Chains A and B, each alone.
Chain A
């Protein structure tokens, strides 16, 4: 990239040669993983050559590289024409207004849409039952929004990279599952308990590890997350092992069960019984939980604690020299994040009706982290948008018929979801390393409020 900008204009031959090199590299990467597919045949693995696919991929890389080079050329030419050399680099306060206005309007819009989604879905598809797909999808997305907002406290605000967040999700889910199946406690008693347990676990795990440097901290949280999952798999007497815990009691409308008959929800309110009532209730439950997470975060950012988090994210050493107790500050962020993870976990358990360790593997942590990172680490709206795009997007693509026509009958966009997740994480780090710049605006400032420029966050000790 840099080379392309210094050489103001490369000859078309040079561009073609460069793109050819890229295609060659792509060819090397495709051999033999793409070029031969291994399938279990009658006598061992059998190979199916797929050279057409390889050729297609290489051609795509070639074309993309040519386009990229041409775009870069044009940009370089434009930069050469502008008089000031400073304009070439990113300005320090990159349009704070445009970035700021969007979140201010966006979050209420998002919440408003989320509030009316069941109604819209029911009207659009003609009845509650046909709308079930949309409401279920909404529940799924909101679960991830909530998890993202919870993790956002830890990663986005306090700047602690937590790769084991799913452990707290698991603690919450298993707390509810065990408390309700063994002790017969209701969901409404278990929900705060699950959050409490997860928060306690957060403190317990957080206490020894929070002295560690950023990337070591990330690895240790990963290790703890995996340990919890492995214990859940192997401690069969309590957790049911890999099979998990089944027949977890369902949520009640504050004590009123969703069932047919006079003492059920529909009987009490004089409605005709409809199993969809429970689904809609679950939808609003997770929406409320997510909004609580968001509200608490927004309020905390205005407290000294929240400011300490942000300061910690920017520069830990400066924080320490100003007398902020970094361990305690980190611990509160960790515990709060864990608590919201626990709430989300118990919601997961009550919605699914069963829990198993499979739902709490590292990939889940990575997905939640990806949502936070893509959302721009610290931005509430960004996380919501990322969750919608990343969880809802592939779901929607699956229903588009023409994709199946193009890529064949067995095409499932969900397969490619994680592939795109990974690529998007890398791309985000390269082009938008700290998310939407506007959210680097300090909550409190001395004198004029200025966005924290890219040059200032370079060597952050997060």
Chain B
């Protein structure tokens, strides 16, 4: 047996004390096989992509709010010359391109790599007491595949055809027939999107194999299934989602690549006409096939976006309420059921493709069923806070905000689960609002919480509380300022792909949102959105949304400053375990050296032993041998899924 790391203050400060041998710079920081370095690489890359995706969206929001004004600041950039119109306004092509790439970048290059790649990589091996991932070199390969895919996506903006323009879903036959007039089909954005996806998917597959192997085979002694922190459970389920759901999308991408490059007609129906001309293909394919294969991935992908967020939050809440996670076992089973059901709900994205009532009913039923485990997870988190003495530090604020925001996102999804209301709401801003409530103030808030929470472990210094608060409160308000108006607009019938923000559809966009001289109208008048004695129209909400989005960008500046400055000048963390947390990741030196633990870690009890009656402190670390406390852990159990 071995000893668990002593929390001595001197072992904290100098990270390089722990390095047992010298490694050259490029090996240590660039081609590293250490899961922590790779996690940080993932983190930085994905934060850059998140910022880039956010930038694309801000340009789009300008076109929506002020469709007849030139885009400020950008009109003279050489790249924009090709895509803005003569007056410097956003063109439909540019809007489509940015829309497609905003979705792709945010989902595949931003949130998933940050949630699964960065946090999963950094935290999972630490929490299970492993020295590294099961296949460190594979881990490195998966990062470099990811980067390659990201670079291809980014470079595609600079091709003559621009980047992909057919929406982040890339539906055929639109995606197949776009940009066909460019001489070299391979170097068009649409084709490069597919190439990029093939690399990103390969990266995810390698990553998923690695995660599952690590969690199953590298748990330290005593770390039984029911002693795994919930974070690890969520990562395991996420790993399986990626492993089994991504290959059909890879196939779909390969087939679309064949359609574009080799002239096959997997997704081209017989007799297709493009711009009034018969499309030169054999035909006989089915656009529906693409949608099925795409959504077979893309629905589980939603849970890939969400589960790591819930995982992070469920680490932060017990730690800051000083109470065990309520309903740990229920949550574990719920997350497994969720993982299973995630595979058989996909066609609820396709109600308006003409699916018959029988199959629609099946998918409606599974879709409603899947809300049960989601609600179990959220309710457990909520009850975990009940009666605790809560420390409202920045990570906890973000984690707390996550719950209602994700709740709104989830509940607004219910109407979309039924085919009848979906006919009305499909492809409106309502869908955008629903999805973004889940992912933006939901997942991204949880990711922020995670960054604030594990930052002291990564650097040995705390992030500034004050800047954190300055980051949190405006973000919370502005996030709602962005997405709440979308719900109203969506129900009024605003179509999501109108690049002029619905100006061309007067019947829809001139509906009254709030009567003149009412409370809301007065506020809007004060803000200069509407004139005196004018009602607030639905289309006026565009300005509210867009302004909120730009302001949101401004209030990310405190976070960026915090992220970079605190590493050098932040307050030093007290010991290896500044939050007094229980899980094994806090039992390592700070920052953890290559190999993570000093000695071999052993898990003696469950992961959330906070405020155990009779214990000396209000937390009892998993790795601390203490005969006073009776272990609550179950025996060895097999993992069902």
Q: Do A and B bind each other?
A: no
